Structure 1
Amino acid sequence: MNNAVSGYLDKFGSNFLIAAMIPSLGLVIAILTIFEPILQPSALINAPNSIYQGLGVGVLVLVPTVIVGFTLTALNTYILKFFEGYVFFRYLPILVYRQREKAKKLIGRKETLRKRISVLESWSSNPTPRTKKILRRLRNQYYNIAANYDKNFPPEIDDVLPTEFGNILKASEAYSSNRYGMDGVEFWPRLRQVIPDRYQDSIDSARNQLSFLVNMSVLALFFSFLCSLPVLFILGFFSLSPVSTLTYIDVFAYSYRYLIAGLLGLFCFAFFQKASIYSVGSFGIMIRSAYDLFRLDLLKHFHIKMPDNSVQEFHIWRNIGELLTLGQQSLTFQGLEYLWDDAKQPSLEKKQVG
C-alpha cells in the first residue's frame, strides 16, 4: 500500500514539475527581470542578512511559482477546453465557419476523387497499364485526403469546433466510436484500467508534454498582458497630464523594455500554441493506439465472448455502451451473454443476463 501511494505521489510530482512548475518558474523570473524598475527585487535578494536573503528568494520566486503552478494544475481541464474552443471561441461564429469550410473543402475533394475512381473502375473492366497508373495515383490521393480529414476533423460536420486544436482532439475522441462502436467518454476510464503501466507512462508523458506547451502559451499571453499595463499607464500619463514635461523620446525610453518584452511574449505565445497543435496530434495518436491494442483486454474483463469478426465486435461494443450510458432507459439494448472461467465458475459455463 505504501509503495502504491509513494509511486502515485512520485508520478504526480513528476507531472506537476514538468507541466506546471517549470512554466510557472519561467513566468516569475521573466516578471522579476522585466519589472525590476517597479518591483525592485534586488532590495530583498541583496539584503545584508543571509536569513533575509533566503526569505527574499522564497517570497519572490518560490511562493509565486508554487501558487501559479497549482493554479495551472487545478485549471488544466478548463484551459484545455478553452483551447478546444468550448469556452470562448464558440461564441465567435467566424471561427466555426472557417473550420467548417476547411472540413467541407476536404470532404468535397474526397468525394470528387471517389467519383472519378468509381467511373474509371466501371468503364475499365480490363484496364490498360495507363488506366491502372491513373487509378493508383487517384487512390493514393484519396487515401491522403481521407487520412488528413480523419486526423484533423470529427466525422460529422456539425461537430466541428472553432479551433484546430479542438478539432484534432475531437477527431481522436471520435476514433473509437467510428472504428469499434466504443463511446470514448464512457469507455476511456475503463480502458485505462487494463492498459499496461509501460504504455500508460507513454500516455502520461504525451499528456505532460501537451500540458507544458499549453501552459507556456497561456503564461506567455498573460505576460504580454502584464507588459502592456506599464505602457498604457505611461501613455495615459503623457497624454492626459496637463503638466507633463515628457517628450515622445522620454515615453519610449520609459516603455521600450515593456514593449519589447510584450512582443517577445506574443511571439512565445504563437510559438507554443503552434507547438501544442502538433503535440495534441501525437497525444491523440496515443489514445487511438490504446483502443487498437487493449480494447479486447477490456472485453475480457467484461466476461463477454470474443467476437468472430469486426462487424460483430462493433455491435458488441455498441450494445455494452447502451448498457453503460442508458441502462434500463435504452430502447435498443440486447441481453449480454457472459462467459466465465470454468475454474472459477464450475457450475456455469455461460450465464445469460438481460
Structure 2
Amino acid sequence: MWFATLLTSGAASFGRILIAGLLPNSVTIVFVWLLIRAHSFSGASDWNLPLPTDLKTDLVQVLFALLVITLLTVLVQPFQVRMIRLLEGYWEGWWLTARIAPVLVEYQTRKRETLAARINDLGDRIGELRDSAVETLQEQRKRQRYQARMAAARRRATVKLEQYPRPTEQDPQTPLLPTALGNALRTGETSAGERYGLNTLASWPRLYPLLSEKLATLQASARDSLDAAANFCVSFFVVALIAVVALADEPKAYWIPALAFSLCCLSYLGSVAAAVTFTTYLRVAYDLHRFDLVKALHHKLPDTPAEEYELFASLSEFFRAESADVIADGLVLDLLADRLYDHSAEPD
C-alpha cells in the first residue's frame, strides 16, 4: 500500500515538474543549442550543422543538454512565485516598470469601464428589440437573429468583465493591476473569502490543508496549468529575444522570433484562462470548507450569516495583525477576547 502511494505521489510530482519546469526550460536550452550548432551568433546560420553526424558526440551533447535543463529547472523553481507576480504586474521594484505600470493600470481601468458600458448598452438594445412590434414573419426572424448575436456579444463581454476585481463595501476603490493575468488572479484574491468576511490572502494558507482530497487535486491541477503557461510564456519571450540577436542579419529567418513571440502571447492567454479556473476553485474552497477552518481553530460555529461574518471578520483581523503593529504576546486577548471556543469534537 505504501509503495503504491509513493509511486502515485512521485508520478504526480514528476508530472508537475515535467509540465511546469522541464518542458518550458527545454524550449530555451534546445533553441540556444541549435543556434550555437548552426553558428548563428557568428554569422549566417547553417542549419545543416545541427543535424546528427556522430552518434557518440551527439549523445554526449544530448546528455549535457539534459543536465543543463535539469539544473536550470532546480535553480528557477524557488523563483516561481516571483515570476508569476512579475507577469501579474507587481512592478514597483524596478524603475522603468514602476513608471509604465500606471499607464497600463489606466488602460485596464478604461477597458473595464468600456466592458461595463457595453454590457449595459447591449442589455438595453436587447430589451428594446424584445418589446418592439413586428409585422411580418421575415422581420421576426431577422429580429431574433439580431437579438441572438447581441446576447452572445453580451455574454462574451460579461465573461471578460468577470476577470476584473469588483469594488466592495470594504474596499470600494479596489486597485487594478497592469496586466490581465494580475487582474484575473486578484479577482479571486479579493472575493473568495471576502464574501463571508474572511480575508482571502491571510486565510488561504490556513484553509488549504483542510481541503478535501478531490478539491485539492483539482486546485493543484489548475495551479500547475497556470505555472506551466506562465513558464512557457517566459521561455518563448526569452527565445524571441535571443532569436532577434542571433538572426538580426538574416531577414529570411525573421519568422523565427515572430513565431516565438506569437507563442509567447498564446501562452500568456493560456495563463489568463488557467487563472480564471484557479480562482473558480478558490471560491469553491471557501464555499465548502470555511466551517472546517472554524472547527480546526476550535471556535464555536455561527448560527446565522451575521454571526458568521462577524466571526470571520475578527479572525481576518487576527490573521493580518503583525507583531510590528500589534504586540504579538497576548494578541488573541486583544482581538478575540469575546469568542467562545468549542472542544466538543475532541476525544475524552
Secondary structure at the counterpart of residue 268 of structure 1: helix
2:276 alignment partner in structure 1: 281
Once the two structures are superposed, residues 23-68 of structure 1 have per-residue CA deviations (whole angstroms, 9 ceiling, x without a partner) of 22233333334554217896896336x3x44322211x30232133
- 1:331 and 1:146 mapped to 2: Cα distance? 43
What is the Cα deviation at residue 11 of structure 1? Answer: 3.8
Preserved CA contact (<8 Å) 1:223 1:262: yes
Structure 1 residues 330 and 76: CA distance shift in structure 2, 3 A: farther
1:153 aligns with 2:165: yes
1:295 alignment partner in structure 2: 290
Preserved CA contact (<8 Å) 2:88 2:177: yes
- 2:161 and 2:61 mapped to 1: Cα distance? 54
Structure 1 residues 54 and 110: CA distance shift in structure 2, 3 A: closer
- 2:58 and 2:246 mapped to 1: Cα distance? 28
Structure 1 residues 272 and 180: CA distance shift in structure 2, 3 A: same
What is the Cα deviation at residue 333 of structure 1? Answer: 4.7
What is the correspondence of 1:325-344 to structure 2 with a 5 Å cutoff?
A: 325-326=320-321, 328=331, 333-341=336-344, 344=347
Structure 1 residues 43 and 171: CA distance shift in structure 2, 3 A: closer
* Structure of larger gyration radius: 1
Uncovered stretches (5+) of structure 1, i.e. residues with no partner? 117-129, 131-140, 235-253, 346-354
2:183 alignment partner in structure 1: 167
- 1:260 and 1:313 mapped to 2: Cα distance? 58
Structure 1 residues 69 and 307: CA distance shift in structure 2, 3 A: same
1:103 alignment partner in structure 2: 112
Once the two structures are superposed, residues 132-176 of structure 1 have per-residue CA deviations (whole angstroms, 9 ceiling, x without a partner) of xxxxxxxxx999988864542242434211111111111100113
Query: Which amino acid is the alignment partner of residue 242 of structure 2?
Result: L
**Quick check: 189-198 or 331-340, which moved more?**
331-340
- 2:342 and 2:81 mapped to 1: Cα distance? 38
1:47 aligns with 2:43: no
1:248 alignment partner in structure 2: none
Once the two structures are superposed, residues 97-131 of structure 1 have per-residue CA deviations (whole angstroms, 9 ceiling, x without a partner) of 11122334456789999xx9xxxxxxxxxxxxx7x
**Larger RCO, structure (CA 8 Å, separation 6 or more):** 2
Number of aligned pairs? 298
- 2:157 and 2:252 mapped to 1: Cα distance? 47
The structure whose residues are more often helix, as a share, is 1
Preserved CA contact (<8 Å) 2:193 2:286: no
What is the Cα deviation at residue 90 of structure 1? Answer: 4.5
Preserved CA contact (<8 Å) 1:25 1:65: yes
**Quick check: 297-306 or 150-159, which moved more?**
150-159
Structure 1 residues 264 and 109: CA distance shift in structure 2, 3 A: closer
Structure 1 residues 195 and 260: CA distance shift in structure 2, 3 A: same
Question: Which residue among 306, 309, 323 is the counterpart of 2:304?
Answer: 309
Secondary structure at the counterpart of residue 308 of structure 1: coil
What is the correspondence of 1:1-354 to structure 2 with a 5 Å cutoff?
A: 9-38=10-39, 46-47=53-54, 50=56, 52-59=57-64, 61-87=65-91, 89-92=97-100, 93-105=102-114, 149-155=161-167, 156-232=172-248, 234=249, 254-257=250-253, 259-326=254-321, 328=331, 333-341=336-344, 344=347
Uncovered stretches (5+) of structure 2, i.e. residues with no partner? 41-45, 125-130, 132-152, 322-327
**Aligned Cα RMSD in Å?**
3.7
What is the Cα deviation at residue 207 of structure 1? Answer: 0.8
- 2:344 and 2:20 mapped to 1: Cα distance? 43
TM-score between the two structures when normalised by the length of structure 1: 0.72
- 2:37 and 2:155 mapped to 1: Cα distance? 56
